[in-house]
Amino acid sequence: MKPLLEVADLRISLPGPHGMVPIVDGVDFEVHGGQIFGLAGESGCGKTITALSLLGLLPAQARTSGRAEFGGRNLLTLKSAELRHVRGRQVAMVFQDPTSSLHPMLSIEHQLTEHPRVHLHMDQKQARRRALDLLEQVRIPDPETALHAYPHQFSGGMRQRIQIAMALACEPSLLIADEPTTALDVTVQAGILRLINGLRQTAGLAVILITHDLGVLSALADTVTVMYAGRVVEAGSTAHVLQRSRHPYTRGLLDSLPHPEKPDQPLVPIRGTPPSPAERPPGCVFHTRCMYAVENCRREVPPLIELSPGRVAACPVDPFATELVA
């Protein structure tokens, strides 16, 4: 089956004090209809920039190359008028902080009816009905009252639900959710995760879920791509990537997290800190922090090796090979 979105060799650079700095350095992934695709990595790995590039939301000075094919078109080369049609209509985005993406001075009704009016050419009455449906869909209690309220009258979790409702207003086929639960409490987060999962099941929505939280990925994502310093280090089905990680970075991230079943196991952090985009090391970008690095890692950029269909890892050393056989 043809993927809904196919990203190939995506490269993005942004201007720095000493010339262009590569932020994203050759990223490939596919998103299929009705699937949740997880994009994981720590701050600064390029995951948000990757998402923004798909919607043409990068700063004007950014330089982009590669392909992002969606519905037979390359999103990276669309003109702004065409992009406007894609945004909201076909691809929608939900951000981490709903406080800053909802307008504080406009009523929920105003904000929720705008998309259907502009994109679907509904009149106010139709758009209002649509807004009520949407609020019900994201389980806002008492939607009628909610329409007249303003963002500050809702809790963080409710605001995030409203933001999701806005994103769903024109029935997009792809939702990009950038750390949608990071600002929320854990009990509220669980509700949002269940909501996103429900939308995938009932509306057949495809989701790009961007998060640093491997627990969130594990709960929702079908497939995962792990990024480090602008490159893909590992990808595959969520179960494979989390249970049989092949890349030392993925393994290191998992070892640094508290393990639910092994509370007595000490946390094993990854030594050092992620390099800034302007100071990425030559060879494998992870070699400076990797316990398994060999001489070659310092010189050559490791290619993504296909282990099985859809399962790749960029580590020729493969330190966990014996463990996997056993």
Partner 1 sequence: MSILELRDVEVEYLRRDGAVLRAVAGASLRVEAGEIVGLVGETGCGKSSLARAMVGLVATSRGEVRFESQPVHPLGRRARPARETRLQMVFQNPYGSLNPRRRIGDQIADALVNSGDRSRSPRRQRVMELLFRVGLSPDTADRHPHQLSGGQRQRVAIARALAADPSVIVLDEPLSALDASVQAQVANLLVELARDLGMAMVLISHDLAIVRHVAHRTAVMYLGLIVETAPTDQLWEAPLHPYTRALIDAIPHPDGSGQLPEALAGEIPDPANPPPGCRFHPRCPLAFDRCRIEAPPLMEVANGRDVACWLHIPSTPSVPIGQTTPVESVA
Residues interacting with partner 1, by CB under 8 A? Answer: 42-43, 155-158, 185-191, 193-194, 197, 212-220, 238-243, 252-254, 256-258, 260, 263, 266-270, 273-274
Between CA 80 and CA 263 the distance in angstroms is 52
- Number of Cβ within 10 Å of residue 174's Cβ equals 21
The least distance separating partner 1 from the CB of residue 204, rounded to whole angstroms, comes to 18
Best CA proximity match to 212, nearest among 9, 48, 34, 58: 48
150-to-102, 106, 118, 212, 268 alpha-carbon distances in Å: 9, 6, 21, 30, 45
Residue 143 or 157 having the CB closest to partner 1: 157
Reduced to 3 states (helix: H, G, I; strand: E, B; else coil), residue 15 is strand
Residue 120 or 254 having the CB closest to partner 1: 254
Residue 122 or 313 having the CB closest to partner 1: 313
Residue 153 or 296 having the CB closest to partner 1: 153
210-to-78, 128, 154, 180, 309 alpha-carbon distances in Å: 23, 31, 24, 8, 23
Length of the chain (residues): 326
The least distance separating partner 1 from the CB of residue 141, rounded to whole angstroms, comes to 9
Best CA proximity match to 158, nearest among 205, 233, 108, 223: 108
Residue 273 or 296 having the CB closest to partner 1: 273
- Number of Cβ within 10 Å of residue 317's Cβ equals 17
233-to-25, 130, 179, 269, 311 alpha-carbon distances in Å: 11, 42, 20, 18, 11
Between CA 242 and CA 163 the distance in angstroms is 30
The least distance separating partner 1 from the CB of residue 65, rounded to whole angstroms, comes to 28
CB 181 within 8 A of CB 192: yes
The least distance separating partner 1 from the CB of residue 228, rounded to whole angstroms, comes to 10
Residue 240 or 287 having the CB closest to partner 1: 240
CA 185 centroid distance within chain: 19
Best CA proximity match to 226, nearest among 37, 86, 95: 37
Between CA 169 and CA 112 the distance in angstroms is 7
What are the tokens at 266? Answer: 């000490």
Residue 184 or 232 having the CB closest to partner 1: 184
- Number of Cβ within 10 Å of residue 293's Cβ equals 18
Residue 81 or 186 having the CB closest to partner 1: 186
The least distance separating partner 1 from the CB of residue 265, rounded to whole angstroms, comes to 9
The least distance separating partner 1 from the CB of residue 310, rounded to whole angstroms, comes to 15
The least distance separating partner 1 from the CB of residue 242, rounded to whole angstroms, comes to 3
The least distance separating partner 1 from the CB of residue 301, rounded to whole angstroms, comes to 22
The least distance separating partner 1 from the CB of residue 90, rounded to whole angstroms, comes to 27
Between CA 126 and CA 138 the distance in angstroms is 19
Residue 86 or 158 having the CB closest to partner 1: 158
